[in-house]
Protein backbone atom coordinates (compact mmCIF):
# COMPACT_ATOMS: atom_id res chain seq x y z
CA UNK A 1 0.00 0.00 0.00
CA UNK A 2 1.11 3.54 -0.67
CA UNK A 3 1.76 5.54 2.47
CA UNK A 4 -1.23 7.51 3.68
CA UNK A 5 -3.51 5.94 1.08
CA UNK A 6 -5.57 2.82 0.79
CA UNK A 7 -4.89 2.60 -2.96
CA UNK A 8 -2.83 -0.55 -3.61
CA UNK A 9 0.77 -0.30 -4.79
CA UNK A 10 1.56 -0.66 -8.52
CA UNK A 11 2.88 -4.15 -7.81
CA UNK A 12 -0.42 -5.21 -6.23
CA UNK A 13 -2.24 -3.59 -9.14
CA UNK A 14 -0.14 -5.62 -11.61
CA UNK A 15 -1.02 -8.78 -9.68
CA UNK A 16 -4.71 -7.95 -10.11
CA UNK A 17 -4.14 -7.54 -13.85
CA UNK A 18 -2.32 -10.87 -13.97
CA UNK A 19 -5.24 -12.48 -12.13
CA UNK A 20 -7.65 -11.10 -14.73
CA UNK A 21 -5.41 -12.48 -17.50
CA UNK A 22 -5.35 -15.86 -15.76
CA UNK A 23 -9.14 -15.77 -15.57
CA UNK A 24 -9.22 -15.04 -19.33
CA UNK A 25 -7.03 -18.10 -19.97
CA UNK A 26 -9.37 -20.24 -17.86
CA UNK A 27 -12.39 -18.89 -19.74
CA UNK A 28 -10.69 -19.62 -23.07
CA UNK A 29 -9.86 -23.16 -21.94
CA UNK A 30 -13.50 -23.64 -20.98
CA UNK A 31 -14.64 -22.25 -24.34
CA UNK A 32 -12.50 -24.88 -26.07
CA UNK A 33 -14.63 -27.54 -24.38
CA UNK A 34 -17.87 -26.17 -25.86
CA UNK A 35 -19.11 -27.18 -29.29
CA UNK A 36 -18.66 -24.54 -31.98
CA UNK A 37 -21.52 -25.75 -34.17
CA UNK A 38 -23.33 -22.69 -35.47
CA UNK A 39 -26.80 -22.25 -34.12
CA UNK A 40 -29.41 -19.59 -34.59
CA UNK A 41 -28.02 -16.64 -36.53
CA UNK A 42 -24.77 -18.47 -37.27
CA UNK A 43 -23.48 -18.07 -33.72
CA UNK A 44 -22.44 -21.17 -31.83
CA UNK A 45 -22.76 -21.81 -28.11
CA UNK A 46 -19.07 -21.05 -27.57
CA UNK A 47 -19.32 -17.50 -28.93
CA UNK A 48 -20.11 -15.76 -25.64
CA UNK A 49 -17.41 -17.58 -23.61
CA UNK A 50 -14.85 -16.66 -26.29
CA UNK A 51 -16.05 -13.06 -26.33
CA UNK A 52 -15.74 -12.91 -22.53
CA UNK A 53 -12.27 -14.47 -22.66
CA UNK A 54 -11.07 -11.91 -25.20
CA UNK A 55 -12.55 -8.97 -23.28
CA UNK A 56 -11.02 -10.25 -20.03
CA UNK A 57 -7.64 -10.64 -21.73
CA UNK A 58 -7.80 -7.07 -23.05
CA UNK A 59 -8.82 -5.77 -19.61
CA UNK A 60 -6.08 -7.79 -17.88
CA UNK A 61 -3.46 -6.51 -20.30
CA UNK A 62 -4.70 -2.97 -19.84
CA UNK A 63 -4.62 -3.28 -16.03
CA UNK A 64 -1.04 -4.55 -16.18
CA UNK A 65 -0.04 -1.74 -18.56
CA UNK A 66 -1.63 0.84 -16.24
CA UNK A 67 0.12 -0.66 -13.21
CA UNK A 68 3.51 -0.77 -14.96
CA UNK A 69 3.30 2.81 -16.23
CA UNK A 70 2.61 4.52 -12.92
CA UNK A 71 -0.30 2.76 -11.34
CA UNK A 72 -3.97 3.50 -11.53
CA UNK A 73 -3.56 7.24 -11.91
CA UNK A 74 -7.24 8.12 -11.67
CA UNK A 75 -8.08 5.66 -8.88
CA UNK A 76 -10.19 7.13 -6.14
CA UNK A 77 -9.87 6.08 -2.55
CA UNK A 78 -12.11 2.99 -2.39
CA UNK A 79 -13.55 3.97 0.97
CA UNK A 80 -15.42 1.35 2.91
CA UNK A 81 -14.15 -0.58 5.87
CA UNK A 82 -10.59 -1.68 6.35
CA UNK A 83 -11.70 -5.22 7.17
CA UNK A 84 -14.27 -7.46 5.54
CA UNK A 85 -17.66 -7.54 7.20
CA UNK A 86 -18.44 -11.28 7.31
CA UNK A 87 -22.15 -10.95 8.06
CA UNK A 88 -23.21 -9.37 4.74
CA UNK A 89 -20.93 -11.76 2.85
CA UNK A 90 -22.70 -14.70 4.49
CA UNK A 91 -26.14 -13.30 3.58
CA UNK A 92 -25.24 -12.86 -0.10
CA UNK A 93 -23.46 -16.22 -0.28
CA UNK A 94 -26.43 -17.92 1.38
CA UNK A 95 -28.71 -16.40 -1.24
CA UNK A 96 -26.66 -17.87 -4.08
CA UNK A 97 -26.27 -21.27 -2.43
CA UNK A 98 -29.95 -21.54 -1.45
CA UNK A 99 -30.92 -20.63 -5.01
CA UNK A 100 -28.71 -23.37 -6.42
CA UNK A 101 -30.02 -25.88 -3.90
CA UNK A 102 -33.72 -25.11 -4.33
CA UNK A 103 -34.15 -24.26 -8.02
CA UNK A 104 -34.81 -27.87 -9.03
CA UNK A 105 -37.22 -28.45 -6.15
CA UNK A 106 -39.31 -25.29 -5.81
CA UNK A 107 -38.73 -23.82 -9.26
CA UNK A 108 -37.10 -20.75 -10.71
CA UNK A 109 -39.46 -18.08 -9.41
CA UNK A 110 -39.40 -19.07 -5.73
CA UNK A 111 -35.68 -19.91 -5.61
CA UNK A 112 -34.71 -16.65 -7.34
CA UNK A 113 -37.03 -14.69 -5.05
CA UNK A 114 -35.32 -16.23 -2.01
CA UNK A 115 -31.91 -15.49 -3.56
CA UNK A 116 -32.93 -11.86 -4.12
CA UNK A 117 -34.26 -11.44 -0.58
CA UNK A 118 -31.13 -12.86 1.06
CA UNK A 119 -28.73 -10.94 -1.20
CA UNK A 120 -30.53 -7.64 -0.65
CA UNK A 121 -30.50 -8.22 3.11
CA UNK A 122 -26.74 -8.71 2.90
CA UNK A 123 -26.29 -5.52 0.89
CA UNK A 124 -28.49 -3.56 3.28
CA UNK A 125 -26.50 -4.82 6.25
CA UNK A 126 -23.23 -3.99 4.49
CA UNK A 127 -24.36 -0.40 4.04
CA UNK A 128 -25.57 -0.30 7.66
CA UNK A 129 -29.20 0.50 6.79
CA UNK A 130 -31.20 0.54 10.02
CA UNK A 131 -34.34 -0.93 8.41
CA UNK A 132 -32.53 -4.08 7.19
CA UNK A 133 -34.25 -6.41 9.65
CA UNK A 134 -37.70 -4.78 9.68
CA UNK A 135 -40.69 -6.95 8.75
CA UNK A 136 -41.89 -4.40 6.19
CA UNK A 137 -38.52 -4.52 4.47
CA UNK A 138 -38.67 -8.31 4.24
CA UNK A 139 -42.17 -8.18 2.73
CA UNK A 140 -41.10 -5.50 0.24
CA UNK A 141 -38.06 -7.60 -0.74
CA UNK A 142 -40.17 -10.73 -1.23
CA UNK A 143 -42.64 -8.88 -3.45
CA UNK A 144 -39.84 -7.20 -5.41
CA UNK A 145 -38.01 -10.51 -5.89
CA UNK A 146 -41.16 -12.16 -7.21
CA UNK A 147 -41.95 -9.19 -9.45
CA UNK A 148 -38.46 -9.49 -10.97
CA UNK A 149 -38.15 -13.29 -11.22
CA UNK A 150 -41.65 -14.14 -12.51
CA UNK A 151 -41.45 -12.11 -15.75
CA UNK A 152 -37.93 -13.40 -16.36
CA UNK A 153 -39.20 -16.97 -15.96
CA UNK A 154 -42.15 -16.35 -18.28
CA UNK A 155 -39.98 -14.62 -20.89
CA UNK A 156 -37.58 -17.55 -21.01
CA UNK A 157 -40.16 -20.36 -20.87
CA UNK A 158 -43.07 -18.91 -22.84
CA UNK A 159 -41.40 -16.63 -25.37
CA UNK A 160 -37.92 -18.07 -25.86
CA UNK A 161 -38.90 -21.73 -25.26
CA UNK A 162 -36.00 -22.24 -22.87
CA UNK A 163 -36.77 -24.79 -20.17
CA UNK A 164 -36.29 -23.49 -16.65
CA UNK A 165 -37.35 -25.47 -13.58
CA UNK A 166 -40.89 -24.61 -12.60
CA UNK A 167 -43.05 -25.38 -9.61
CA UNK A 168 -45.82 -26.82 -11.77
CA UNK A 169 -45.98 -28.52 -15.16
CA UNK A 170 -48.04 -25.70 -16.66
CA UNK A 171 -45.02 -23.58 -17.49
CA UNK A 172 -46.49 -20.54 -15.75
CA UNK A 173 -45.17 -21.12 -12.21
Q: What is the pLDDT of residues 107-166, one digit of tens each?
A: 889 999 999 999 999 999 888 887 777 888 899 999 999 999 999 888 887 777 777 776
Out of 40, 68, 96, pick the residue that ends a domain. Answer: 68
Contacts (Cβ under 8 Å, ≥6 apart) of 129: none
What pLDDT is stored for residue 44 in this prediction?
72
One domain for residues 64 and 109: no
Residue 63: inside a domain, yes or no? Answer: yes
Q: Tally Cβ neighbours within 10 Å of residue 111.
A: 22
Task: Give domain status of residue 5, yes or no.
Answer: no
Residues 121 and 93 in one domain: yes
Q: Judge whether 169 lies within some domain.
A: no
The answer as to whether 140 is a domain residue is yes
Question: 49: domain range?
Answer: 10-68
In a domain, 20, yes or no: yes
Task: Based on the fold, state whether residues 94 and 150 are members of the same structural domain.
Answer: yes
Read off φ and ψ for residue 6, nearest 5 degrees.
-100, 10
Amino acid sequence: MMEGSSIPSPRAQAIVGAGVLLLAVGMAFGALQISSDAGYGGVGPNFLPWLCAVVLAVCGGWLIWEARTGGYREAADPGGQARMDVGPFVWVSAGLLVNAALIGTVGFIISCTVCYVLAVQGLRRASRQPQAGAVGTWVKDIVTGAVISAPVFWAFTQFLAINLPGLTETGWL
